[in-house]
Amino acid sequence: MLTINQSAPNFSLYDAHDAAHKLDDYKSHWLVIYFYPKDNTPGCTKEACTLRDDNAKFEALNTQIVGISTDSSKSHQSFSQKQNLTFTLLADPKGEVSKAYGALFKLGPVKFSKRHSFIIDPAGKVSKIYRSVSPSLHSQELLNDLKQLQAEFKD
């Protein structure tokens, strides 16, 4: 199980356009990694859309957002286009990255990502862990915590 100040597990996953993304691609930025169960479901759509609506606020805080689920790249492409998402969605079809972050749920042969989120600092360390997330309130919670964490990071 991940803990605060631990190095975030590296990953190499593909986005909706089949471009590879690694954790190292986000060095020098703050990063929100949010895991979610399924594209085009009510809670996941609400969470993605509130993050989309607040994306300029995240960018103003030098923070990038990455969503990860066990859905395919093709599913992400459809979901991203339908919801006009302005951040990256990564496909974790085998659930390996979800598992590394403690966000994988398995029910027999079915597996999906739990709704967990992580704030990663520019050095690649886990700064905040969210194991219980309200889809409609999470974006504001992340923004509030990012401001506090960034102030502490500078000190």
Structure confidence by residue, pLDDT tens digits, 76-135: 999 999 999 999 999 999 999 999 999 999 988 889 999 999 999 999 999 999 999 999
- Residue 100: inside a domain, yes or no? yes
Q: What are the tokens at 98?
A: 């979800």
- Residue 81: inside a domain, yes or no? yes
- Residue 5: inside a domain, yes or no? no
**C-alpha torsion 36→48→45→1, nearest 10:** 10
CB 66 within 8 A of CB 34: yes
- Residue 126: inside a domain, yes or no? yes
At residue 155 the predicted structure's pLDDT band, cuts being 50, 70 and 90, is low
- Residue 1: inside a domain, yes or no? no
Structural domain count of the chain: 1
- Residue 13: inside a domain, yes or no? no
Structure confidence by residue, pLDDT tens digits, 53-81: 999 999 999 999 999 999 999 999 999 99
User: Which residue range is the domain that position 116 belongs to?
Assistant: 29-154
Task: Assign residue 150 the CATH number of its domain.
Answer: 3.40.30.10
From CA 32, how far away is CA 8, in angstroms rounded? 11
Q: What is the per-residue burial (b if ≥16 Cβ within 10 Å, else e) of 54-84? A: bbebbeebebbbbbbbbbebebbbebbeebe
Over 80: is that where the pLDDT of 154 sits?
no
Tell me if residue 107 falls in helix, strand or coil: strand
Does the annotation mark 44 as catalytic? yes
Over 80: is that where the pLDDT of 151 sits?
yes
Over 90: is that where the pLDDT of 153 sits?
no
Q: Taking the mean position of all CA atoms in its chain, how far away is CA 125? A: 15
- Residue 19: inside a domain, yes or no? no
From the number of C-beta atoms within 10 Å of its C-beta (0-12, 13-18, 19+), residue 112 rates as: buried
Tell me if residue 58 falls in helix, strand or coil: helix
Residue 79's nearest CA partner among 45, 115, 120, 47 is: 45
Over 70: is that where the pLDDT of 30 sits?
yes
Point out the catalytic residue in the list 16, 44, 104, 142: 44
- Residue 130: inside a domain, yes or no? yes
Predicted pLDDT at 52: 98
At residue 147 the predicted structure's pLDDT band, cuts being 50, 70 and 90, is very high
